[in-house]
Amino acid sequence: MAILPIIETPDARLKQISAPVETVTDAHRTLIADMFETMYDAPGIGLAAIQVGVAERILVIDLQREADDTPEDADPDKIVRVKEPRVFINPEIIWESDELSVYQEGCLSVPEMYADVQRPAEIQVKWLDEQGKAHDEKLDGLLATCLQHEMDHLNGVLFIDHLSKLKRDMLLKKLEKLRRSGRAA
Ligand code: NI
C-alpha cells in the first residue's frame, strides 16, 4: 500500500468528470487500498479517486465513529474509533428526500476550510463494491452527506461550489493566506 499525494484546489483535475468503472479489477482494488491508506493518514472520512488523480468513479468512506462506550469527558487523543471502511464504485442516487440536513463540511482538497452545506437528509443509492457486487441501500445522517460530497467530486464539484460566491471567495482567500504562511501544503 502507498500514501498518494492529494490534489488540492485550484488544480483543474478536480473539475474533471470521472468515468464509470466497467469491470472492477485487481488494479482498482490496489488503488482502493491506497486510497484508504491516504485517507486515514490525512486524516479524512472520505476520498474520491480524482483527488489522487484517477478520473474513475470510485470513492472510499470511513466515518470512524467513536466507540459506543466512549465517556463524554474522554481525552480526545484516547478515543477509540470504530473502523468501518466502505467502498462505492459507480454510485448513483436513485431517490432523495425533500427533507434537507446541514453539516459543516471540509475536504482534503480544500485543506483546513469548513462551511455549512445543505443536502438531502436521506438518499437511496446503488453502487458496486470492490468485488463488483451490486448494492442498493437507503442511507441517512453523516454517511448520506459524506457520500453526496464524495459523489460531487466525480462530477467535478467541490463543497465550496455549493456556497455563495462571496463565501467561496472568502474561503479561497483564507486558504491562499494559509498556504503563504506555510501552514498548508
Ligand atoms: Ni472532498
pLDDT tens sequence across 116-161: 999 999 999 999 999 999 999 999 999 999 999 999 999 999 999 9
Spacing, Cα 71 to ligand 1 middle (Å)? 30
Per domain, the residue ranges of the chain are 12-70+80-181
Amino acid at 100: L
- Could you tell me the three cell numbers for 167? 463565501
The lowest-confidence range among 67-71, 101-105, 180-184 is 180-184
Catalytic (active site) residue 150: yes
pLDDT in the model for residue 69: 82
Residues around ion ligand 1, judged by CB within 5 A, are: 107
Whether residue 60 contacts residue 43, with contact meaning beta carbons closer than 8 Å, is answered with: no
Report which of residues 135 and 79 the model is more confident about: 135
pTM here is: 0.93
Please identify, in words, the CATH class of the domain defined by 12-70+80-181: alpha beta
According to DSSP, the β-strands at 100-107 and 86-96 are unpaired
